[in-house]
Structure formats: structure tokens, C-alpha cells
Amino acid sequence: MPIADASVWAAGRRIADAVPFDRVLETAAEHDGFAWVDLVDPTEAEVREVADELDLHHLLVEDVVSRGQRSKLESYNGTDFCVTHRIATGADGALAVFDVHAIVGERCVVTVSWSGDDAVRQVRERLARRDDALEPTPRVVLYAILDLVADAHTELALEIHDQVAGIEDAFFGDADPPTVDIYRAMRRVLGLQRAADPMSDLVERAAARLGDRELELRRHLRDVDDHAQHTSARLDSDRALLASMLQLASARVAERQNDELRSMTEHQIEQNEQTKKVTSWAAILFAPTLIAGIYGMNFRHMPELHWLLGYPFAIVLMLALAGILYLAFKRRHWL
């Protein structure tokens, strides 16, 4: 049985005597207190065994073993089932998500956690020290879990906020836009938002289930709600800032591409102009060369060779053709 702890709490403290799991409810009734069973990495069969012993609703078993659910607080015949997600930073900087389930009844509490998360142990030690000046009850256990998870979200949100501020400083500096860093920060913000945004609703639901005599616990839950709302607001602000930086980074890239394309276009235009000039002069020089080539063949029957004006005529013909071509290219702005 993966029971990390089975205890009875009464008169504001934990009973020191070891309590067997199969007698935890009877012992709690004898001391007019409540039983608290903490499960770590349980299988479905083990959860069913605990549910049968504590007389829990059978649908709770299905909810507990279905990990990865959304954050929620639901009621099953007077027993509340709460799902929260504590977020922490892994060794590689990525977000690690830890599911924490709490089944809260009038006389018993069942907490379930996975992957070696020590959140419930921290809550148990906190209630034993009476840090909140609240007498431990099943509802106070739920409050302490919500407060611990909300504080974890707040701490991580502050860490991400500092990261976003650093990215903003680098973004508006002289270096290239750190687009990859922006995407990574955006993923962290979105991952934390999925767990942090529902917290305010969970706290409000938990407060709505309190009686008139639990005014002090209601005040504590209101404080948790304030932290949760501030965390959500900070994450919304950071998300909007990151989205704006992504848009601006895209605009910068597009502007750079346009500048490069404009430069390439201007270079091509300049090359075309040079090509036109070279082509024009080649054509102009081709005409005299053609005439000179024909006269240079020295065939026997070429009357122009014996003509007195043959040489001046050839020169004039060369100049005339070259001039005509020059004027034609000049008119077309090739020269």
C-alpha cells in the first residue's frame, strides 16, 4: 500500500500514537477529530482499496486515477474532490507539472500525489507547526494545499517576469531580436497560466462551502484568492508583452528582408544599366568592324579597291553606321 502517512488529527494537533490504516476512521471518531491518509504514486487497485475502507464515492476512484485532468473542485455526496497542479522549474529550465489531488470529507482527508512531489508533506509539517493559527480541519487541509500551490505559482511567475524583463532589455538593445528566447518564455508563461488561471475559481468554490463559523478560514482563503489573481494578472501582462515583442520581431525581420530585397533590386538595376551600355557600344563598334572585315578580304573582283573615293567612302560609312546606332541607343536611354 503506497501510504506515505496515515494520521488522526484532533483538538488542533496530530495524535502522536501510530494509527493503523484500517483503524484510522475509528480512531478519528474516538478523538472527535479527522483522519488524513496521504497516498503517493498509487495504482487503481490501491486507490479502490482506500476508497472502500474510507467509504468514498466510486466515481472518485476514476477521477483520481485519471491523471492530467483540468484543475477543478467538485462535490460527490458531500465529499469534495479537488485537483490542482503545482508547477516547478526542472533542471533544464522547463516546467515540471505535479498533480495534487485532495478528497475532503467531514471526517477524513485523502491526498494523492505523484512523481515524488513533496507538496503534501510540506502542508502536513506546516499544519503541525500551526503557522496559520488555524486549527487543523479537513477544510483547513484543503486551504493549505491551495495556498501552497498558489504560492508556488506566484514564485514561478516572478521568476518568469524577471526573465521577460531581461528579454525586453535585450530586445530593445543593439543585438538581434532574441526570437528563440521569446518563444521559450512564451511557452513557460502559457504552461504556468494553465495551472494558475483556475486557482481563483477553486478558492472561491472552497470558500463558498464554508459555514458561518469559519470566518477566519474564509479570510485566509480570500488572501489566497488575492495572490492567485495577482499571479494571473502578471502572467497576462507578460504574455501580452511577449506577443508584442514577437510581432515587432517579425516586423523587424520583414523590414530587414525588404531592405535586402531593395538592395538586390538596385544592384540588379545597376547591372542591367551596365549591360545595356556594354551591349550598345559592342553594337556600335560591330558595324565598323563588319565593314572593315569585308574590305579586308581582298577579293579579286572588288571594284571599290580600285575606286579613288573607296577609302573615304568606307570611313564615312563606318562613322555613319556608328552614329546611327549611337543615336538609336541614346534615344532608348541605353547610353
Highest mean pLDDT among 68-77, 127-136, 137-146, 318-327: 137-146
* Per-residue pLDDT tens over the stretch 106-143: 889 999 998 878 899 999 999 988 887 889 999 999 99
Residue-level pLDDT at 175: 65
Instruction: Identify whether the C-beta of residue 232 lies closer than 8 Å to the C-beta of residue 193.
Output: yes
The DSSP 8-state label assigned to residue 170 in this structure reads H
Q: How far apart are CA 95 and CA 335, in angstroms?
A: 67
Q: How far apart are CA 184 and CA 46, in angstroms?
A: 39
Rg (CA), the chain: 42
Distance spanning both ends of the chain, measured CA to CA: 95
The torsion angles phi and psi of 156, rounded to 5 degrees, stand at: -70, -35
Q: Give the other-Cβ count within 10 Å of 112's Cβ.
A: 24
Confidence of residue 300 (pLDDT cuts 50, 70, 90): low
Is residue 176 predicted with pLDDT exceeding 70? Answer: no
pLDDT above 90: percentage of residues in the chain = 39
Is residue 11 predicted with pLDDT exceeding 80? Answer: yes
pTM for the structure as a whole: 0.76
DSSP labels, 233-297 = HHHHHHHHHHHHHHHHHHHHHHHHHHHHHHHHHHHHHHHHHHHHHHHHHHHHHHHHHHHHHHHTT
Residue-level pLDDT at 91: 72
Which domains are assigned to the chain? 3-254 (3.30.460.20), 273-331 (no CATH)
Q: How far apart are CA 311 and CA 317, in angstroms?
A: 10
pLDDT above 70: percentage of residues in the chain = 95
Report, as an integer, the average pLDDT of 181-188: 90
Instruction: Identify whether the C-beta of residue 114 lies closer than 8 Å to the C-beta of residue 41.
Output: yes
**CA 205-99-111 angle, 5° bins:** 70
